Structure 1
Amino acid sequence: MTEVIGVRFKNVGKIYYFDPADIDFAAGDHVIVETSRGVECGEVVMPPREVDDDCIVQPLKCVLRAATMEDLQRVQENMRKEKEAFRICLKKIAEHGLGMKLIDVEYTFDNNKVLFYFTADGRVDFRELVKDLASVFRTRIELRQIGVRDEAKMLGGLGVCGKPFCCSTFLGDFQPVSIKMAKEQGLSLNPTKISGTCGRLMCCLKFEEEAYEDLLRTTPRAGSPVYTPEGRGTVEDVHLLTGQLKIRLDKDPEAPAKSFHKSVVKPVKNGDARPDRPEKKRHNREKT
């Protein structure tokens, strides 16, 4: 076990572990740390705690110091400079006639690098653009192509549910999402109905999947034979969230299917062909 703190560099970004260096940081504090991109200022979102060594990416770097008022002022100044850099880069992209969409600009804390995030349909030759930007900003320039999900996370917006994007409010990392999840949750397989604003499958399919998997383990599937308080029948429709089942009874197959809750229904085991078998067993035990 190792003591760490969790630091985040963006509002809903990934949490990185650092050695607190025996300093008692609290959530909300700002710290100066060294990262692969250089010295950065981040916010403590997880106070000191013990975590398994397997959860740590070695080598674990120490916090350099707590952020001072001057450090926070520099962060604010960098944010102002990012807006100006965004405007300049847009102009340069138009001058070079490049088919790319600028999404965001980010200054590193020590101003040693400026990162430009963009999207494009394919590969873009931006070598001349980099030279042009380097001559303007006189620092290291990095252009990074991102996907549509990252674009949605950076820009934010409202999803089809009418609420802010999950990725821009609380999802730190993107998780793989598959069409199989939509099938298990009984959703329409129409791409326009299960896709987010970014055009990819909705992230909420993933973080609701565990609950649906648990419900599927405890709920009879459509087409399976079951015992009900009114006799044996076949499940025709399932509502996973409420646990209500529509069952057509064997004794009256022409009648409309009846609704039962899964708590009063028992599945038919293999080889259990007679609907009165459980009752007979219980009757025999009473006689003996």
Structure 2
Amino acid sequence: LRADLPKPLLRVLRIATPADLDAYNKRAQVEDKAIIFGLEKIAQLKLPMNLSRAIYLPEAKKTLFYFTAEGRVDFRELVKELVQNLKTKIEMRQVGVRDEAKAITGYGVCGESLCCSTFLKEFFPVTIRMAKDQGLALNPSKISGACGRLMCCLQYEHDIYKEQIKTLPKINARIETPGGAGKVIKNDILQQKVTVRLDDENILTYQVTELNIPKRQDKPQGQDKPQRQHKPQRQDRPKQGRPNQQPPRRDKR
């Protein structure tokens, strides 16, 4: 059972004592107070930043503030106000919107807890091409996560979609079907179905196994564009002219 648990495993030191729980509650109260005061001061100073969370470190007598912003922010006046009110050292740390969502946690459009706050250990690139390959509507409200960026889950099944789509014809391609010739208007990648508008305007859906469609081939890397053929250089021909003849020499008398 231990081998099936995710790594790394944290070591349990002991069961929390009443003193531990009391210290935890006091720290939470300080953090809540810091967040509320920080948000008020940010609004008063009209700073272009969003405060995410605060962490109080009683051993170091320090409070860490995590925030997001589009660019650099001059928060020196804010730090002065925080030091006077909280009576601790203040450290400001700027994070990205994905890190903010991971720290705050929440729920996605699927109804489940955010992937980044549950099991994802690191972030990876997600592109709009992944949504296109899966046939998703390119509606920002449908494919964006709580952080406002493209949802991390778009990457989970992308490789499967890329492989499955190779067996399907391209949209607008003309193909032959048991019902006659027509144009492809829709593909169902997971169910491997092709919807065709026939030449007689009837719309029929077929399993890809009912159609004789060659599998798409991946383009070899570096061969997307035809290579330019270098023309042989023109060699200059020697000019044909009269040979250099010296005029006849006249003897002086």
Structure 2 counterpart of 1:263: 209
TM-score, normalized by length of structure 1?
0.57
* 1:81-100 aligned within 5 A: 81-94=30-43, 96-100=45-49
* 1:106-125 aligned within 5 A: 106-108=55-57, 110-125=59-74
* 1:53-202 aligned within 5 A: 66-67=13-14, 69=16, 73=21, 74-94=23-43, 96-108=45-57, 110-202=59-151
* 1:43-54 aligned within 5 A: 46=7
State the Cα distance separating 1:215 from its structure 2 match.
Answer: 1.8
Residues 140 and 217 (structure 1 numbering): CA distance in 2 closer, same or farther, change over 3 Å?
Answer: farther
**Distance in 2 separating the partners of 1:95 and 1:107:** 23
Residues 226 and 254 (structure 1 numbering): CA distance in 2 closer, same or farther, change over 3 Å?
Answer: closer
| SS at structure 2 position matched to 1:66 | coil
Does the 8 Å CA contact 1:223/1:235 hold for their aligned counterparts?
yes
State the Cα distance separating 1:226 from its structure 2 match.
Answer: 5.5
Residues 150 and 268 (structure 1 numbering): CA distance in 2 closer, same or farther, change over 3 Å?
Answer: closer
Q: Percent identical across equivalent pairs?
A: 42
Structure 2 counterpart of 1:35: none
| SS at structure 1 position matched to 2:35 | helix
Paired positions, count: 213
State the Cα distance separating 1:143 from its structure 2 match.
Answer: 1.0
Q: Please list the CA deviations of residues 10-64 of structure 1 after superposition, one character each: whole Å capped at 9, or x if unmatched.
A: xxxxxxxxxxxxxx9996xxxxxxxxxxxxxxxxx5366xxxxxxxxxxxxx97x
**Distance in 1 separating the partners of 2:202 and 2:32:** 65
Structure 2 counterpart of 1:53: none
Does the 8 Å CA contact 1:25/1:47 hold for their aligned counterparts?
no
Does the 8 Å CA contact 1:226/1:234 hold for their aligned counterparts?
yes
The structure whose RCO (Cα within 8 Å, separation 6+) is larger is 1
**Residue segments in structure 2 that go unaligned for 5+ positions in a row:** 217-253
The aligned amino acid for 1:46 is K
The aligned amino acid for 1:177 is V
| Larger proportion of strand | 1
The aligned amino acid for 1:222 is I
Q: Please list the CA deviations of residues 67-101 of structure 1 after superposition, one character each: whole Å capped at 9, or x if unmatched.
A: 55359534444333211222333344355453433
State the Cα distance separating 1:235 from its structure 2 match.
Answer: 3.6
**Distance in 2 separating the partners of 1:214 and 1:105:** 45
Does the 8 Å CA contact 1:194/1:202 hold for their aligned counterparts?
yes
TM-score, normalized by length of structure 2?
0.64
Larger radius of gyration: 2
**Distance in 1 separating the partners of 2:64 and 2:55:** 5
